[in-house]
Amino acid sequence: LSQREDDPRTYTANCHCGQFKYEVKLSPPFPEHQIASCNCSICRWNGYLLAYPLRDNIKILRGEDQMAKYSFNRHKATHVFCPTCGSSVWIDFNNQEAKDVIGINVRLIKGIDLDSLKFRFVDGASHSGAY
């Protein structure tokens, strides 16, 4: 979950309907920034492909108060999504050791080529309950 600070780049992301919009600073930038592809139930069903920027590197531009939230199992993470269009926006690890980062769904970032990204497989299915 670490980042290099020498070459950050700012990206814009939004949900499908545009109700929620934010900017995120990532270092290293795409395509070098490694993306997590997890096989747990919620990541599979929501189509998450995750980058983990520091919370301080995210600037919400609009719609934060309109987002819906969901947690399950031990409620260690909050899944944030748009109640209008259903886009899975991010995972907030507010109750875990990784509380200084947010798992953003890179599918919402404008102008990136998903096929050019570097993926890291995460076996979340072996750490969560059956759903």
pLDDT in tens, 17-74: 999 999 999 999 999 999 999 999 889 999 999 999 999 999 999 999 999 999 888 8
Domain segments of the chain as ranges: 9-120
Question: 101: which DSSP letter?
Answer: B
Q: Which long-range contacts (CB under 8 A, 24 or more apart) does 113-117 make?
A: 113/30, 113/31, 114/49, 116/30, 116/31, 117/30, 117/31, 117/33, 117/35, 117/49
Note the CATH number of domain 9-120.
2.170.150.70
What is residue 77's predicted lDDT score, i.e. its pLDDT? 87
Query: Is pLDDT of 2 > 60?
Result: no
Expressed in angstroms, the distance from the first to the final Cα of the chain is 27
Q: What are phi and psi of 3, to 5 degrees?
A: -130, 145
Q: What is the arithmetic mean of pLDDT over 81-92?
A: 96
- Give the strand pairing for 34-38 and 21-26: unpaired
